[in-house]
Amino acid sequence: MTTTETGADAPFAPDATDIVTDHDRGVHGYHKQKQEHLKRLRRIEGQIRGLQRMVDEDVYCIDILTQVSASTKALQSFALQLLEEHLRHCVADAAVKGGDEIDAKVKEATQAIARMLRT
């Protein structure tokens, strides 16, 4: 038997279990934008505090509802950005690995989208 028949001359080809991704290292899709996300969340937090203040000061109902709508849209926008980063990073990493992991990540993302649509 020659080395070619045994595969000894074949180049090393890692299988999916040999691939180490950022996700394996605990790096999430939003890590590059973390400071921007925190800034955005602090701004949304300020909007929510503003709602509390408006209620405390007996502001007109429609004005409060307008602010509720703005706060809701800000949170939805943040959620969509985070979802996009999850798809680009976590789901893409799982796709590189293949197998059951990609199915699990797609199911997870689909469930997150469904929760967002219910609101």
Compute φ and ψ for 30, nearest 5 degrees: -90, 0
Domain containing residue 52: CATH number: 1.20.58.1000
Please indicate, yes or no, if residue 49 is contained in any of the structural domains.
Answer: yes
The answer to the question of residue 84 being in a domain is yes
Q: Is residue 20 part of a domain?
A: no
Contacts of 3 (CB under 8 A, 6+ apart): 9
Indicate the number of domains in the chain: 1
Q: Which two tokens stand for residue 3?
A: 């080395």
Task: Render each residue's pLDDT in the chain as its tens digit; 119 residues.
Answer: 444 444 455 454 445 455 555 555 566 777 788 999 999 999 999 999 999 999 999 999 999 999 999 999 999 999 999 999 999 988 988 898 888 989 999 999 999 999 989 86
**Domain housing 67:** 31-118
pTM above 0.85, yes or no: no
2 domain-assigned? no
Domain assignment present for 92: yes
58 assigned to some structural domain? yes
